[in-house]
């Protein structure tokens, strides 16, 4: 299979639109994404979106399509799509019932609090980021099996077979994909115990075909044996042997004991909208509900100088909320995360008493709130099926290409999620986020995440499915997509295309996409005491909006190869 010229042209035109949006705040012509009557799949790769569409056309439901898309992304988008990582599902059925599935990775049984510190108690550079010790116990395959057991309708084999064929027959690379494999080849050679020649064996060029025979065989075992095709038998042996060669600590017992978990979704309201999102061990759901809760009673606008006031408000919320994240958020199975207290209106009001509309609050003056009682590589896809069932799924290896360890014999990349633990209180992770005791390393514990798969209802009806990759920028990117639609009146594609900004407690800067901030707005914010960091694209939001007439509009992020398919 290969991308058609029309498909590449669409991506080129979307990038031109994005450049136009960045260079001028408003445009005369509205930007509209793909609109369909019945069903939609939006993911980080056109081949995966096409697989999801075919599953829906064959009578599958949204969860069927999600499983097939997830497995296809493990083949065609290996820097983040995976069977060696984990993630979260948020599901809304057409009867209004909602569910969330936590298939986040877990710390191995031999993991311990100080495993990345030297004899002086100092952090060993990159030990939690690259190599075998960086990997948590993968949850992705168990998560797909659990979702299928509860909601699947087509045969399991039918859902896995498209990924098998993509791996076995190969797929044609774009220039960007070829460049990506060339850039990461040295890391694969350094950190894998056996050189993964299917990634490193040539100087990749546009239109080359990537064949992944080992991965195809692993997917066949999963297709034929389900969960046991990964956590037991030949694949488990390959994983453990890889660990032993690379001085890692994931064991047969870790694999056998891994369980994904159904959890109550985290829900809240914003005006006439119901927000259905992910609770701990995700911090993202709490963060967007806190931000929406603070903003609900305030007027915001993206017109003229008022846009600077909105950015100031958003930044001040982010500084306070990310301080809360560092102190209170973790795996609720191991730490009593005070979710209700963090979302309480009185608490949020108290947190914002020091807000000054004319001055930025220095981060060293911001700490976590006082609780009186305590009870950047990832991928996202959004799906709505013809019956109105919806899935938001965010899944990850953590950093791009994860730990850079390819399991010899099995052909897949292991995550580097252990870096999402607080490896030392006050030490930032690879995304610059600080952590504390709540998120310390413990055996069997799930590391704190920023992934924020989210579904919105309006007046009791399905309204939006949204999510993004981006490390610590995930919650703020989801927040901006929601605000762009519900407050600023944008369609889904325009909301996704809009330039994004991000801030957190530390470092004390507003990050903005290159060319994405008007100089006059920037000057107004500098007068309030804000500092800036220009960077490349923030997130890759893939979302679906239900239009007033019931049709579906996709928002496929032009920052990547993301594409929507539907009918």
Give the number of residues written for the chain. Answer: 567
Rg (CA), the chain: 22
The CA distance from 300 to 43, in Å, is 30
Residue pair 177/205 in contact (Cβ under 8 Å)? The answer is no
Residue pair 152/64 in contact (Cβ under 8 Å)? The answer is yes
567 to each of 51, 66, 112, 347, 385, how far by Cα in Å? 13, 16, 50, 45, 10
Q: Nearest to residue 222, comparing CAs of 382, 365, 75, 367?
A: 75
The β-bridge partners of 90 are: 100, 392
Number of H helices, E strands in the chain: 18, 19
The CA distance from 300 to 485, in Å, is 13
Q: Which helix (H) or strand (E) holds 52?
A: helix 46-57
Query: What global pTM score does this model have?
Result: 0.91
3-state secondary structure of 356: strand
Strands 501-502, 377-384: pairing kind: unpaired
**From the first residue on, what is the mean pLDDT of each consecutive set of 10 residues in the chain (567 residues)?**
42 44 48 96 98 98 98 96 97 98 97 93 91 97 98 98 98 96 96 97 97 98 98 98 97 98 97 97 95 94 94 92 88 93 91 87 62 58 98 94 96 95 70 68 94 97 96 93 97 97 86 92 93 92 98 97 97
3-state secondary structure of 281: coil
pLDDT value of position 372: 37
Distance of CA 246 to the CA centre of its chain: 28
3-state secondary structure 164-230: HHHHHHCEECCHHHHHHHHHHHHHHHHHCCCCCHHHHCCCCCCCCEECCHHHHHHHHHHHHHCCHHH
The architecture in CATH of the region 1-45+78-151+164-496+540-567 reads: 4-Layer Sandwich (3.60)
- Is the backbone peptide bond immediately before 507 cis, with ω within 30 degrees of 0? yes
Domain ranges for the chain: 1-45+78-151+164-496+540-567
One-character DSSP codes across 129-142: TSSGGGPPBP-HHH
The β-bridge partners of 379 are: 395
Active site residues: 378
């Amino acid at each position: 299979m290969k991308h058609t010229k029309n498909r590449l042209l669409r991506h080129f035109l979307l990038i031109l639109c994005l450049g136009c949006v960045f260079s001028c705040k408003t445009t005369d012509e509205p930007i509209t994404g793909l609109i369909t009557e019945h069903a939609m799949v939006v993911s980080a790769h056109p081949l995966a979106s096409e697989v999801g569409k075919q599953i829906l056309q064959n009578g599958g439901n949204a969860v069927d399509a999600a499983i097939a898309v997830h497995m296809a992304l493990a083949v065609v988008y290996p820097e983040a799509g995976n069977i060696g990582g984990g993630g979260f599902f948020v599901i809304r059925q057409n009867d209004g019932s909602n569910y969330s599935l936590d298939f986040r990775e877990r710390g191995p049984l031999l993991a311990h609090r100080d495993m990345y510190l030297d004899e002086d108690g100092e952090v060993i550079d990159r030990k939690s980021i690259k190599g075998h010790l960086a990997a948590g116990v993968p949850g992705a395959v168990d998560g797909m099996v659990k979702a299928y057991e509860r909601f699947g309708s087509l045969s399991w084999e039918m859902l896995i077979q498209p990924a098998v064929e993509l791996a076995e027959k190969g797929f044609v690379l774009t220039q960007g994909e070829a460049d990506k494999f060339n850039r990461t080849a040295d890391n694969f050679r350094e950190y894998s115990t056996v050189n993964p020649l299917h990634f490193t064996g040539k100087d990749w060029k546009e239109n080359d075909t990537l064949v992944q025979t080992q991965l195809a065989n692993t997917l066949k075992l999963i297709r034929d044996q389900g969960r046991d095709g990964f956590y037991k038998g030949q694949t488990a042996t390959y994983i453990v042997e890889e660990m032993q060669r690379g001085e890692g600590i994931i064991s047969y017992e870790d694999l056998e004991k891994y369980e994904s978990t159904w959890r109550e979704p985290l829900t809240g309201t914003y005006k006439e909208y119901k927000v259905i999102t992910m609770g701990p061990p995700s911090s993202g759901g709490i963060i967007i509900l806190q931000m929406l809760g603070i903003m609900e009673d305030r007027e915001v606008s993206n017109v003229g100088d008022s846009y600077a006031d909105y950015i100031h408000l958003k930044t001040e919320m982010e500084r306070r909320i990310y301080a809360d994240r560092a102190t209170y958020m973790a795996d609720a199975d191991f730490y009593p995360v005070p979710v209700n207290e963090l979302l309480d209106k009185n608490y949020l009001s108290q947190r914002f008493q020091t807000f000054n509309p004319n001055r930025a609050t220095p981060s060293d003056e911001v700490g976590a709130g006082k609780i009186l009682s305590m009870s950047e590589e990832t991928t996202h896809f959004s799906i709505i099926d013809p019956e109105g069932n919806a899935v938001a799924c965010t899944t990850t290896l953590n950093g791009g290409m994860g730990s850079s360890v390819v399991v010899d014999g099995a052909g897949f990349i292991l995550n580097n999620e252990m870096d999402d633990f607080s490896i030392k209180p006050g030490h930032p992770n690879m995304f610059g986020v600080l952590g504390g005791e709540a998120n310390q390393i413990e055996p069997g514990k799930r590391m704190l995440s920023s992934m924020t798969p989210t579904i919105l209802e309006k007046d009791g009806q399905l309204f939006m499915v949204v999510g993004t990759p981006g490390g610590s920028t995930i919650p703020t990117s989801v927040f901006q997509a929601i605000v762009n639609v519900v407050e600023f009146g944008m369609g889904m594609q325009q909301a996704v295309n809009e330039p994004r900004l991000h801030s957190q407690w530390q470092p004390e800067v507003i990050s903005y996409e290159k060319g994405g901030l008007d100089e006059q707005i920037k000057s107004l914010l500098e007068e309030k005491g804000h500092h800036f960091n220009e960077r490349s694209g923030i997130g890759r939001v893939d979302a679906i909006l239900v239009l007033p007439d019931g049709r579906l509009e996709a928002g496929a992020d032009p920052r990547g190869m993301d594409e929507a398919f539907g009918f």
